């Protein structure tokens, strides 16, 4: 009995799919990523019972196209995350950034933080744990953490807040006992964390459904594969959305470039503080 041959992705089909991904997410897929695309989309073709990639391309252009594009983004985007990843960011958040912001929140000012590519939620909950350790009564004030991601499946997992115990090792025993409840081989976040968080599906390249400014934005390891124009425009949009004196955290392999570089001052390793320079018009 011969194994069933996997669908073959032609050059033209790869270019078509890569262009859709670029248009929708700003992610540039070079030919080096062709194998990744095939590995991930073959599963999608099987789920849809489609015979080949031409049928899949046709689907993307048909009535089901808008919905299928979301599945395409979910398949292509890489969701690598961990609790307290790049731990120096959370130390800076706890010792330097949050104390003065907490004092202002206690005096009646709103406090907003955003995990802008939260994946399955580990980063967002790490922010929330750090916040509650620094500001234990945050829930009694106007304090919220927004956690967003382009992948609806990741948002569902993040909102559920349930994680395998192996993935919780960076949290530590003390934090695990305080902020999680054990459920067999998994642990679930307590309502104390959920109460200050909001989860939403959001494509960073689409219009953002809020007007208020943030005091802290985390957008780490999300723009590595963005084309230059999309990346630099996103930095500019963040600059507009961060309050003067607020902070932007990016990934250790990323750099703040383009026009937005003049709108921030270095504030630590891959951490930047918004200065008072008015932002230029967006391109």
Residue 25: count of CB within 10 angstroms of its CB: 23
What pTM value is reported for the model?
Answer: 0.85
The CATH code for residues 87-274 is 3.40.50.150
Q: What is the separation of C-alpha 164 from the centre of its chain, rounded to a whole number of angstroms?
A: 20
**Was 85 annotated as part of a binding site?**
yes
| Digitized pLDDT (tens) for each residue of the chain, 283 residues in all | 444 568 888 999 999 998 988 888 777 888 888 888 888 889 889 989 999 999 999 999 988 888 888 888 878 776 668 999 999 999 999 999 999 999 999 999 999 999 999 999 999 999 999 999 999 999 999 999 999 998 888 999 999 999 999 899 999 999 999 999 998 889 999 999 999 999 999 999 999 999 899 999 999 988 887 889 999 999 999 999 999 999 999 998 899 999 999 999 999 999 999 999 998 888 7
**Was 77 annotated as part of a binding site?**
no
Fold classification of 11-76 is Chemotaxis Receptor Methyltransferase Cher; domain 1 (1.10.155)
**Was 275 annotated as part of a binding site?**
no
Catalytic residue among 22, 40, 178, 194: 40
**Was 203 annotated as part of a binding site?**
yes
From 169, 152, 161, select the one nearest 67 (Cα to Cα): 152
The confidence score (pLDDT) of residue 4 equals 56
Catalytic residue among 149, 157, 175, 274: 149
From 81, 91, 134, 127, select the one nearest 268 (Cα to Cα): 91
Which residue ranges make up each domain of the chain? 11-76, 87-274
Give Cβ neighbours of residue 262 (< 8 Å, ≥ 6 apart).
277
DSSP state of 33: G
From 112, 127, 123, 116, select the one nearest 200 (Cα to Cα): 116
Both tokens of residue 91?
Answer: 């130390």
From 225, 282, 268, select the one nearest 94 (Cα to Cα): 268
Active site residue 149: yes
The confidence score (pLDDT) of residue 80 equals 67
Coil, helix or strand for 273? strand
């Amino acid at each position: 009995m011969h194994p069933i041959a996997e669908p073959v992705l032609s050059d033209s089909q790869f270019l078509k799919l890569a262009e859709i991904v670029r248009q929708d997410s700003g992610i540039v897929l070079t030919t080096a990523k062709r194998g990744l695309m095939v590995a991930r989309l073959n599963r999608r073709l099987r789920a849809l019972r489609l015979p080949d990639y031409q049928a899949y391309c046709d689907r993307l252009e048909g009535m089901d196209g808008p919905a299928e594009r979301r599945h395409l983004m979910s398949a292509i985007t890489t969701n690598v995350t961990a609790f307290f990843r790049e731990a120096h960011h959370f130390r800076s958040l706890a010792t330097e950034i949050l104390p003065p912001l907490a004092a202002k929140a206690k005096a009646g000012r709103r406090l907003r933080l955003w995990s802008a590519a939260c994946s399955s939620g580990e980063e967002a909950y790490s922010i929330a744990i750090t916040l509650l350790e620094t500001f234990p009564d945050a829930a009694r004030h106007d304090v919220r953490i927004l956690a967003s991601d382009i992948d609806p499946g990741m948002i569902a997992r993040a909102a559920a807040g349930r994680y395998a115990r192996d993935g919780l090792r960076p949290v530590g025993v003390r934090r695990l006992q305080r902020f999680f409840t054990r459920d067999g081989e998994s642990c679930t976040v307590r309502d104390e964390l959920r109460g200050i968080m909001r989860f939403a599906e959001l494509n960073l390249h689409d219009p953002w459904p809020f007007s208020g400014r943030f005091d802290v934005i985390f957008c780490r390891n999300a723009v590595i594969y963005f084309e230059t124009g999309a990346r630099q425009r996103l930095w500019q949009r963040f600059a507009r959305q961060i309050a003067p004196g607020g902070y932007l955290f990016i990934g250790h392999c990323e750099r703040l470039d383009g026009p937005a570089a003049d709108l921030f001052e270095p504030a630590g390793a891959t951490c930047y503080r918004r200065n008072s320079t008015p932002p230029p018009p967006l391109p």
